[in-house]
Amino acid sequence: MINLETPRKFRAFIHQAHQVAAEMLRPNSRQYDLAEHAYPKELDMLAAMVDGLGASGTGSGAGASGVRRTAGAEDDHGKVKNGSNLSSVLSVMEMCWGDVGLLLSMPRQGLGNSAIASVASDEQLRRFDGVWAGMAITEPGCGSDSASIQTTARLDGDEYVINGEKIFVTAGGRCDAVVVWATLDKSVGRAAIKSFVVFKDTPGMTVERLEHKLGIRSSDTATIRFENCRVPAANLLGTPEIDADKGFAGVMQTFDNTRPLVAAMAVGCARASLEVTRSLLSEAGVEVDYDRPIFQQPAAAALYLQMEADWEAAYLLTLQAAWMADNSQPNSLQASMAKAKAGRVANDITLRCVELAGSIGYSEHELLEKWARDSKILDIFEGTQQIQQLIVARRLLGKTSAELK
């Protein structure tokens, strides 16, 4: 049974993540928000430290990598495992309490790394160890419906030839490689979609441009074009066979592991807003009293309590989804529930905190307006709010994607 207390073995590590967020990420947050596309050089030292912690075994789950299911997590005595998925979401919450964009800019901690960790073979895990990988899914004509991907991968000897265009690739300009989603056969549908690790120096791969964005501006977001880009067949993640019965399940396992991470980003960003707003309310003479009913408190305090309750629900759903992955339990429903709840809660909380803080919240005097901008992407990427609700409905009603669109 899941225990909702932070596991004791993670507490020191979570404390370290919070210190990094407080002393390195948040102090640099405004600087790199204003200097869009400038690389945060401070992250090189942080990434080296995270790599060292991971190598020593004391920093499992640092950042956004390390999400991989292992069979047999529960033994015959009913013991459960608190592993890399849970430690990852807990550390990501702390880091995004500091800054979401800077976390997404950390070398070797990208969502592409999570994709590799989710579906790569043991040999591929060793071969791609230390690679900073972005994730290339979205296309100009294909957003939330990942099954409609038009980028193709054609087998030619011992290489795949990739053609297509990807947009909104997080860390696409800075990373060492991108995990590209492409179809082996358009006529087969979603079952033919596979993911490939493509290194940035591969001929035929071109970074077209970097996007200017509403939020997470310290993180670069790229458009990448592939023209007869030849990739070793060994860089296909998972099995090359097209299994119509299994369908999209192999690729979607990536989302089951990365959606709780995005939910954790939203939870961390929302918590930062709540803490600053409570401090500002206190300075203004508005105290939140947990011993009194909401209707007996000032309107601002009542709204704060409602937001805090929503935040708690998002937090617990995120822990549940990660814990289930650690214990080899199917978590597609819970991952989508956590992503949907946390993404919406982060948007609502950060915007309401701006409102509660008035002119201070709207100005650059505090980071509240920045967190409101940053939070919007957390309800969009890795599957929009609407897509998550659709997935949840399918799981609860036992419907297929063809039956419920």
Tell me the pLDDT tens digit for each residue of 180-196: 999 999 988 888 999 99
Whole-prediction pTM: 0.92
What's the CA angle centered on 84, arms 78 and 90, to 5 degrees? 105
* Same domain flag for 292 and 365: yes
Q: Where residue 398 falls among pLDDT bands split at 50, 70, 90? A: very high
Q: What's the chain's average pLDDT?
A: 89
Helices (H) and strands (E) in the chain, counts: 13, 8
Give the domain extent around 317: 249-397
Please report the pLDDT score of residue 62 as a whole number: 41
* Same domain flag for 264 and 344: yes
286 phi/psi in degrees, rounded to 5: -105, 110
Please report, for the domain that includes residue 260, its CATH number. Answer: 1.20.140.10
* Same domain flag for 55 and 97: yes
Residues 365-394, mean pLDDT to the nearest whole number: 96
Is 304 domain-assigned? yes
Residues 195-211, mean pLDDT to the nearest whole number: 97
When comparing pLDDT for 52 and 290, which is higher? 290
Please report the pLDDT score of residue 244 as a whole number: 61
Direct distance between the N- and C-terminal alpha carbons of the chain, in angstroms, rounded to an integer? 34
Q: Where residue 30 falls among pLDDT bands split at 50, 70, 90? A: very high
Domain final residue pick, 203, 237, 271: 237
Please report the pLDDT score of residue 191 as a whole number: 84
Please report the pLDDT score of residue 153 as a whole number: 97
* Same domain flag for 154 and 41: no
Please report the pLDDT score of residue 76 as a whole number: 42
187, 194 contact by CB (below 8 A) = no
255, 335 contact by CB (below 8 A) = yes
Render pLDDT for 116-167 as a digit per residue (tens, 0 to 9): 888 889 999 999 999 999 999 999 988 877 778 999 999 999 999 999 999 9
Residue 133 β-bridge partners: 177
Is 307 domain-assigned? yes
Please report, for the domain that includes residue 224, its CATH number. Answer: 2.40.110.10
Domain final residue pick, 127, 160, 181: 127
Is 2 domain-assigned? no
* Same domain flag for 273 and 388: yes
* Same domain flag for 294 and 389: yes
Cite the active site residues. 382
* Same domain flag for 77 and 92: yes
pLDDT of 51 strictly over 60: yes
* Same domain flag for 324 and 360: yes
Is 20 domain-assigned? yes
251 three-state secondary structure: helix
Residues 195-210, mean pLDDT to the nearest whole number: 97
CA dist., res. 314 & res. 370, Å (int): 21
Residue listed under structure tokens 């989710």: 118
* Same domain flag for 255 and 318: yes
Q: Where residue 56 falls among pLDDT bands split at 50, 70, 90? A: low
pLDDT of 177 strictly over 70: yes
Percent of the chain with pLDDT over 90: 71
* Same domain flag for 147 and 164: yes
What's the CA angle centered on 128, arms 324 and 179, to 5 degrees? 70
* Same domain flag for 103 and 121: yes
